[in-house]
Homo-oligomer: A and B are copies of this chain.
Amino acid sequence: MDAQKYMLRCLELAQKASEEDEVPIGAVVVDPESGEIVSEAYNLSEHELDATAHAETLAIRRACEKLGINRLRGFDLYVTLEPCTMCAAAISMARIKTLYFGAYDPKGGAVVNGVRFYDSPTCHHRPEVCGGIMEAECGEILKRFFRNKRRKI
């Protein structure tokens, strides 16, 4: 299944983040027509000194830059964790066609949890949503990261 292939790549990116002591979340933007991965990113808010440098927002910025467009109509976004409110809104703003995510995030998610932004009348583009892809693996890499963090304290 294609979705798993892209999610595996997101997991590899999350692993890289973890090795750099960043919260292990990975994302890719995909052209579903060609199957090509257009941009890749992982969380960089510590290294980039930028509170907004979440994997999804970075993947969107990089795809826009690479393609020379400011809307990603027809493109899909894959990410290991249910997007937070900022990223859910950025995904809508970028006009992403389908959002695929791995683990659910009851504490910070904004798609099926929290503010459920795509159900709000102030959301002007609703992507298709497919959650729970490789949910266990996507959740486990985060749990491991925070378990190790706590050990170091």
Contact = CB atoms under 8 A, between A and B. Distances in A.
Nearest to A105: B122
Q: How many copies does the complex hold?
A: 2
Interface string A66-83: 001111100000000000
B93 A89 contact: no
Nearest to A106: B122
Contacts of A90: 51-52, 86
A108 to B, nearest CB: 5
B114 A122 contact: yes
User: A interface, how many residues as a size bin?
Assistant: 35 or more
Contacts of A51: 60, 64, 70-72, 90, 93-95
Nearest to A54: B93
A19 interface: no
A69 B85 CA distance: 22
